[in-house]
Amino acid sequence: MAPPAGRRRGIGPGPRRSRPVGGAFIADPRGVAVTRSLPRSSSGVPGSRARVSRGGDGGGAMEPRSRGTQRGVSHRPLDAEGTPESSLLGRLVAWDVALTSRLAVCAGVGSKWPSGRPLMKLIEVSGHGIPWLAGGLLCTYLGHSAVQRHWWINILFALLLDLAMVGTVKAVVRRPRPSHNCMDMFATVSVDQYSFPSGHATRAAMLAVLAFSGAGGGAGWIGGLGWWLVLAWALAVGLSRVMLGRHHVSDVACGLVQGWLQAWLVEVMWLSATTCQMLLQYVHWI
């Protein structure tokens, strides 16, 4: 008896093969487990393998199995655009450090202009807080008029305010001084190891603004050419801080701005002549 036409040798459809479903293979009806490497798992990770459970019902679905170390996964560091060095702040800091290094021509023996260091140190001392406090006390004591004594008492108050505010900011920010700085500064305290902001710059800017503003009427005897000399001195103090390698450029720039703000605050809190007279009487009584 001849076999049916549909079952003739080489004519029939043969065993049904598994067909891919969504990138995976379903086991054939004979229950043979099929494991195939997939170009990409459902999680999108290259190198994953699909596993098909054994079963004869043809419904064995494949499970994604990721290896501990997967082939083709990139382990490169973050792109340079995401690093702090390439951010806007990082670029500004790098520019600040580079410019400071170029301008520090009197920082030491190996600098470009070592012979100018004594002059820069003289300007540095002229903006130091101790000489100004001592000079303010002396001018208050030797003042020829009540107006001058009134002005110098407020200057002493401004100098104390400057020391307190600069010391507080330095203690909070804690920015180190430039690497090429020589720690041979005059009369320093522990907070002076930090760089931001420049106390000399804040002090010089504050005193210059108070001299220009005529606060308390005391600037009447600092007029004409004296105003320009005070302005030139304030700028020279700020520049000397960078040339000596004491501060970064941003320390001096922010210090000048802070000094202007401190001068405005002193003008708002300006002590009256009556208050200054009471303070003088109290000091004389002591």
> What digits encode the pLDDT tens for the residues 168-193?
999 999 999 998 888 777 777 788 88
pLDDT of residue 268: 92
With CA atoms as reference, report the closest residue to 21 among 78, 75, 77, 61: 61
What's the average model confidence in pLDDT over 86-114?
A: 89
Task: Supply the pTM of this predicted model.
Answer: 0.67
**Catalytic residue, candidates 128, 144, 150, 247:** 247
Q: What angle do CA 33, 39, 40 make, to 5 degrees?
A: 95
pLDDT > 60? residue 24: no
What's the average model confidence in pLDDT over 131-147?
A: 88
pLDDT of residue 118: 92
Q: How far apart are CA 32 and CA 215, in angstroms?
A: 98
Q: In the annotation, is 200 catalytic?
A: yes
Q: Which of 189-193, 224-228, 242-246 has the highest mean pLDDT?
A: 242-246
**pLDDT grade for 223, boundaries at 50, 70 and 90:** low
pLDDT > 50? residue 199: yes
Task: Tally Cβ neighbours within 10 Å of residue 42.
Answer: 14
pLDDT of residue 45: 46
Coil, helix or strand at residue 50: strand
pLDDT of residue 147: 83
With CA atoms as reference, report the closest residue to 131 among 96, 155, 165, 167: 155
With CA atoms as reference, report the closest residue to 28 among 44, 43, 16: 16
- Please give the helix or strand (H or E) that residue 77 lies within, else none: none
pLDDT > 80? residue 241: yes
pLDDT > 60? residue 120: yes
**Catalytic residue, candidates 75, 200, 248, 284:** 200
pLDDT of residue 17: 52
91-100: pLDDT as tens digits: 999 999 999 9
Of residues 85 and 104, which shows the higher confidence score?
A: 104
Task: Tally Cβ neighbours within 10 Å of residue 205.
Answer: 27
Coil, helix or strand at residue 61: coil
Of residues 97 and 29, which shows the higher confidence score?
A: 97
Coil, helix or strand at residue 184: coil
Q: In the annotation, is 247 catalytic?
A: yes
35-87: pLDDT as tens digits: 454 454 444 444 444 444 444 444 444 444 544 444 444 444 434 333 445 68
Are the C-beta atoms of residues 229 and 206 closer than 8 Å to each other? no
Domain extent listing, the chain: 117-285
What's the average model confidence in pLDDT over 162-173?
A: 96
pLDDT > 80? residue 246: yes
With CA atoms as reference, report the closest residue to 109 among 30, 3, 182: 182
Q: How far apart are CA 203 and CA 238, in angstroms?
A: 10
What's the average model confidence in pLDDT over 201-205?
A: 97
